Amino acid sequence: MKAYLKTKYNFSRSLIFLWLLSTVYIRSELLEHDFTSINHNTSSERGVPLSNKKSDPSGSDGRATAPGTYGQFRGFHSIGAAATPKNSNSLDISINADGKKKSFFDNADNINIPRGVLGSTKYVLSRATIGAATYGRKVNFLLGQIVDKPDSLGLGKDKILIGTPSTYWADEPYIRTMEIESASELKGIATILTKEVHGLNRGDIVIINGVDGLQAENTVVLESSENSFKVRYSVDSTKLVLDSLDAAADDDKTNVAANTLNVNNGEFRKAHESLGYYYSPHGKLVVSIKPGPIQIV
């Protein structure tokens, strides 16, 4: 009898569990943190610090900072200013002995402007300048920001407005291309000799064309001097082993000799990424890849 009741009880509990599973469901909703929809408890005696007076407005507990005195905190910075007469009605415009009317300096005592005497020399403060007359504004770009084409050409009075920048400027920023004199490879490092001083630094990104074994893609400069620089070369591991064995077998060879690379109209230039921006050939736009100013030609 006990076994029957236990079996029946277990069977009923299983049915209840299955029924619960069939009725339980999960509903997900979108949540929004909307500050304008917050309901403040204005009926509480504690309230919130809406002002420095309790219950004014309703719900304020009076814990807010008292308003400051008008004019308590202020500053003054003058870029350029002129001395202002305190007694402008006392201006003397009579004629001096030289036939000219008395000047601003001659009226220093009459109109009471800043003045002083050092020995026999009299000084009058007519104007003063503090700081610089203009402040230079540096244009900065955010990381990932699109750099629009300029809508003007030139600076200052020579500035010329451009009606349609999208058609006036080329899509891809200009970077000068330089010629390659010769190239060689040793132990996976290619040395590029240039026909002129290139101005590259270690870590710059360059694109090399016309050199066997070097793809026309972004390549990092490993070392640099005035007329040469080194980049990583695609190593032929089999050839590298054979060259090493050849050098070891020949008593006249002490080191593995550099291999001369064929140069056919070789040239190179800095990559756009080396100048702080990325040029998209598909979107035909310039994107900043580092925050700060960018110089584009």
Once rounded to an integer, what is the mean pLDDT over residues 135-160? 81
Q: Are residues 256 and 279 in the same domain?
A: yes
Residue 7 is predicted with a pLDDT of: 47
- Any idea what the CATH number is for the domain that residue 169 is in? 2.40.30.20
Q: Is residue 191 part of a domain?
A: yes
Number of domains composing the chain: 2
Q: Are residues 113 and 198 in the same domain?
A: no
Beta partners for 261?
183
Q: Is residue 111 part of a domain?
A: yes
Q: Find the domain containing 159 and state its range.
A: 139-297
Residue 3 is predicted with a pLDDT of: 46
Q: Is residue 9 part of a domain?
A: no
Q: Of 104, 129, 154, which closes a domain?
A: 129
Once rounded to an integer, what is the mean pLDDT over residues 189-201? 93
Q: Are residues 186 and 258 in the same domain?
A: yes
Q: Is residue 8 part of a domain?
A: no
Q: How remote is the C-alpha of 20 from its chain's centroid? A: 59
Residue 182: name the closest of 174, 173, 190, 171 by CA. Answer: 190
Q: Is residue 187 part of a domain?
A: yes
Split at pLDDT 50, 70, 90, the class of 107 is: confident
- 82 near 92, Cβ under 8 Å? no
Mean pLDDT computed over every residue of the chain: 77
Residue 4 is predicted with a pLDDT of: 45
Q: Are residues 162 and 276 in the same domain?
A: yes
Q: Are residues 124 and 244 in the same domain?
A: no
Q: Are residues 174 and 269 in the same domain?
A: yes
Distance CA 268, CA 176 (A): 9
How many Cβ atoms are within 10 Å of 236's Cβ, its own excluded? 14
Once rounded to an integer, what is the mean pLDDT over residues 266-287? 92
Higher pLDDT, 96 or 71: 96
Q: Is residue 26 part of a domain?
A: no
Distance CA 130, CA 143 (A): 36
Q: Does pTM top 0.75 for this prediction?
A: no
Q: Are residues 111 and 152 in the same domain?
A: no
3-class SS string, the chain: CHHHHHHHHHHHHHHHHHHHHHHCCCCCCCCCCCHHHCCCCCCCCCCECCCCCECCCCCEECCCCCCCCCCCCCCCCCCEEECCCCCHHHCCCCECCCCCECCCCCCHHHHCCCEEEECCEEEECCEEECCCCCCCCCCCECCCCEECCCCEECCHHHCEECCCHHHHCCCCCCCCCEEEEEEEEECCEEEEEECCCCCCCCCCEEEEEEECCCCCCEEEEEEECCCEEEEECCCCHHHHHHHHHHHHHCCCCCCCCCEEECEEEEEEEECHHHHCEEEECCCCEEEECCCECCCCC
- 101 near 107, Cβ under 8 Å? no
Residue 244: name the closest of 254, 259, 258, 256 by CA. Answer: 256
- Among the residue ranges 55-69, 165-179, 242-256, the one predicted with the least confidence is 242-256
Q: Is residue 67 part of a domain?
A: no
Q: Is residue 158 part of a domain?
A: yes
- pLDDT of residue 199 exceeding 80: yes
- pLDDT of residue 28 exceeding 60: no
Q: Are residues 123 and 144 in the same domain?
A: no
Q: Are residues 150 and 231 in the same domain?
A: yes
Once rounded to an integer, what is the mean pLDDT over residues 254-266? 83
Q: Of 65, 97, 129, which closes a domain?
A: 129
Q: Are residues 172 and 146 in the same domain?
A: yes
